[in-house]
Chains A and B, each alone.
Chain A
């Protein structure tokens, strides 16, 4: 099941300032961000980033503003060049590409969605959507047909001839997503795509992305400052602070084992029942016959509690994919885990 990394960052550092090369050794040797800023007048964007990103999954980078998350996503398609380190995408070291090869590599591999939409204000929804295809030299009937398909897909059927300024924020970002998907690039870079939207619209857009991803199976790099959004969307989550990755793992890993108090401050606010899976509170009994209602070990605690309460039972059996019994979950344990941190078995 472990797929080999599709995108690999090796010791990537980025320093902003007059003469980054003069201080890069210090940065690689883990100098503190404020020390570099005060004593050397250079700013750290990224510091020794190492991460493997698997194919066809959603990798979330989470951090507050200034943590380097937007800088990091721009390194993948080289909108920002690293000061040192190596970035390998689909077996190509993108840091070594020359200008022309980089342009071609971007056309074939990346599509990007932006926080402030970055639509072309002079173009209609239709021609905004086919912008990426037009750049790649796709010709007329295919251009419009592909754009039309994706406009329908993101629910903007009938708005083809509107201009972006005639649409609401949520609709504009749907255009942004249609533009990205029309490109049919294997990698989708999303830089805080839903941060500028109202809470309700944001949830709607998250659900749309989840639905689309089930069908498309793209490699998505998703930037957010919202842990709830990260947990909802991310197959893997990396948390950034001051240009460094301080913890990386699945949402459940991060909730259950926050690396330090900085992260536990975030996770304390989270609805644990939506993240933790039943496997963590399952008790293994020896049983032959199992209960009428069953769940899987991936079922989230909240869902298990809902099932038990609606069926008026206090315990429910867990089956694996081959319908074999693997354990039992008790309502008490479930509720306790939703409220309190659980001890690792």
Chain B
């Protein structure tokens, strides 16, 4: 009874030829269309390079002032602004300013892309139960598939560099944006939607006047999560050529440089805290101005 001790699998020969033909097919595809796909991502590369150049070439006090102003307008909390400036000063003092700017740049562009694509997809999911059923397993795969696995086809298509790194970061960080937009819109009090219907609001009017504003605190939580996940991806992304704080960490792992790893690791934590506190404080302020979200 060998069927009980050994799982009845397809034979090695068939399996090998299956893998071979899929690999060959994909290789052909990337040879034929790789250039087209690369030019498709040209605007994103432009955005990425421009934002990086801006952050690195602008004198550091100006960048710091800009970040402090953003922190203030987001949180209206002087404590948060002071700690943000302190963190940036420490990072600069330990000579990690340039790498930090590179990391902020890719995180910013990745978050921007996640917002631009994630919010409309989330809205569609909220509007259509069918689309939600289709999207949910896709999002599950995006969140649980080890990122190295989808790095392979991306690198095959686009080679090593910023763009494949960015794509990997966006794939990894966009699911919470989509899920929380969907959730936020679905949680809007039905009584308010009914009131809008009774006054003859169209679907677009309901979306603009009611659903998006009321889902905004939840959407902000999604943006916050997206930024956090994007930051956590920078080390992995550095393996395929994304520069920034991830690269020294990678060097440290390869050469067992404990201190180098710890410094850059803390710099990543520092930026994460900056992004997190500012975006959370902003989300909380929206929530307060809304009063209770679902007053039932």
Name the residue on A nearest B206 (C-beta).
A135
Measured between beta carbons, the chain B residues less than 8 angstroms from A104 are 200
Could you tell me the distance in whole angstroms from the C-beta of B202 to the nearest C-beta in chain A?
6
Within 8 A of A (CB), among B252-293: 289-293
A136 lies within 8 A of chain B by Cβ: yes
Measured between beta carbons, the chain B residues less than 8 angstroms from A106 are 197-200
B251 lies within 8 A of chain A by Cβ: no
Say whether B291 contacts A121, CB under 8 Å: yes
Contact with A along B199-211 (1 / 0, CB 8 A): 1111001000110
Could you tell me the distance in whole angstroms from the C-beta of A146 to the nearest C-beta in chain B?
14
Given the contacts A103-B200, A106-B200, A131-B199, A116 and B296 also touching, CB distance less than 8 Å: yes
Could you tell me the distance in whole angstroms from the C-beta of B184 to the nearest C-beta in chain A?
13
Contact of B205 among A114, A118, A135, A163 (CB under 8 A): A135
Say whether A121 contacts B214, CB under 8 Å: yes
Say whether A164 contacts B295, CB under 8 Å: yes
Say whether A118 contacts B289, CB under 8 Å: no
Say whether B201 contacts A135, CB under 8 Å: yes
B192 lies within 8 A of chain A by Cβ: yes
CA–CA, A183 and B200, complex, Å: 11
Given the contacts A121-B214, A134-B209, A163 and B291 also touching, CB distance less than 8 Å: yes
B4 lies within 8 A of chain A by Cβ: no
CA–CA, A301 and B209, complex, Å: 51
Say whether B202 contacts A103, CB under 8 Å: yes
Contact of B197 among A79, A108, A119, A183 (CB under 8 A): A79
Could you tell me the distance in whole angstroms from the C-beta of A36 to the nearest C-beta in chain B?
27
CA–CA, A164 and B289, complex, Å: 11
Measured between beta carbons, the chain A residues less than 8 angstroms from B289 are 122, 163
Say whether B199 contacts A114, CB under 8 Å: no
Name the residue on A nearest B195 (C-beta).
A118
A166 lies within 8 A of chain B by Cβ: yes
B191 lies within 8 A of chain A by Cβ: yes
B213 lies within 8 A of chain A by Cβ: yes
Contact of B192 among A118, A136, A183 (CB under 8 A): A118
Could you tell me the distance in whole angstroms from the C-beta of B190 to the nearest C-beta in chain A?
9
CA–CA, A164 and B293, complex, Å: 11
Task: Give the interface residue-count category, chain A.
Answer: 20 to 34
Say whether A122 contacts B214, CB under 8 Å: yes
Could you tell me the distance in whole angstroms from the C-beta of A303 to the nearest C-beta in chain B?
38
Contact with B along A156-191 (1 / 0, CB 8 A): 000000011110000000000000000100000100
Contact with B along A116-140 (1 / 0, CB 8 A): 1011111000000001101110000
Could you tell me the distance in whole angstroms from the C-beta of B107 to the nearest C-beta in chain A?
29
CA–CA, A112 and B292, complex, Å: 23
Say whether A122 contacts B295, CB under 8 Å: no
Chain A contact residues, majority secondary structure: mixed
Say whether A79 contacts B295, CB under 8 Å: no
B35 lies within 8 A of chain A by Cβ: no
Name the residue on B nearest A107 (C-beta).
B200
Say whether B199 contacts A107, CB under 8 Å: yes
Contact with B along A240-283 (1 / 0, CB 8 A): 00000000000000000000000000000000000000000000
Name the residue on B nearest A166 (C-beta).
B291
Name the residue on A nearest B190 (C-beta).
A118
Say whether A121 contacts B199, CB under 8 Å: no
Measured between beta carbons, the chain B residues less than 8 angstroms from A111 are 198-199
Could you tell me the distance in whole angstroms from the C-beta of A203 to the nearest C-beta in chain B?
25
Contact with A along B169-194 (1 / 0, CB 8 A): 00000000000000000000101101
CA–CA, A245 and B293, complex, Å: 38
Contact of A121 among B198, B201, B202, B292 (CB under 8 A): B292
Could you tell me the distance in whole angstroms from the C-beta of B290 to the nearest C-beta in chain A?
4
Measured between beta carbons, the chain B residues less than 8 angstroms from A189 are 198
Say whether A183 contacts B295, CB under 8 Å: no
Within 8 A of B (CB), among A95-113: 103-108, 110-112
A77 lies within 8 A of chain B by Cβ: yes
Contact with B along A177-215 (1 / 0, CB 8 A): 000000100000100000000000000000000000000
Could you tell me the distance in whole angstroms from the C-beta of A341 to the nearest C-beta in chain B?
41
Say whether B292 contacts A165, CB under 8 Å: yes
Find the residue from A105, A121, A131 having the highest chain B CB count within 10 A.
A121
Given the contacts A121-B292, A131-B209, A165-B295, A112 and B201 also touching, CB distance less than 8 Å: no
Measured between beta carbons, the chain B residues less than 8 angstroms from A114 are 191, 194-195
Say whether B200 contacts A120, CB under 8 Å: no
Measured between beta carbons, the chain A residues less than 8 angstroms from B201 are 103, 135
CA–CA, A103 and B192, complex, Å: 17
Could you tell me the distance in whole angstroms from the C-beta of B226 to the nearest C-beta in chain A?
23
Measured between beta carbons, the chain A residues less than 8 angstroms from B214 are 120-122
Measured between beta carbons, the chain B residues less than 8 angstroms from A116 are 191, 296
Say whether B198 contacts A165, CB under 8 Å: no
Measured between beta carbons, the chain A residues less than 8 angstroms from B292 are 121, 165
Given the contacts A121-B214, A121-B292, A165-B295, A183 and B195 also touching, CB distance less than 8 Å: no
Say whether B291 contacts A132, CB under 8 Å: no
Contacts A107-B199, A118-B191 given; 16 further ones with Cβ under 8 A? A106-B198, A106-B200, A107-B200, A111-B199, A119-B192, A120-B210, A121-B214, A121-B290, A121-B295, A122-B291, A132-B200, A135-B199, A163-B290, A164-B295, A165-B291, A165-B292
**Interface CB pairs A-B, < 8 A, 24:** A77-B198, A79-B194, A103-B202, A110-B199, A111-B199, A112-B198, A114-B191, A114-B195, A116-B191, A118-B189, A118-B191, A118-B194, A121-B214, A121-B292, A121-B295, A122-B290, A131-B209, A135-B200, A135-B201, A135-B205, A163-B290, A164-B295, A165-B295, A166-B291
User: Which B positions have Cβ atoms within 8 angstroms of A?
Assistant: 189, 191-192, 194-202, 205, 209-210, 213-214, 289-293, 295-296
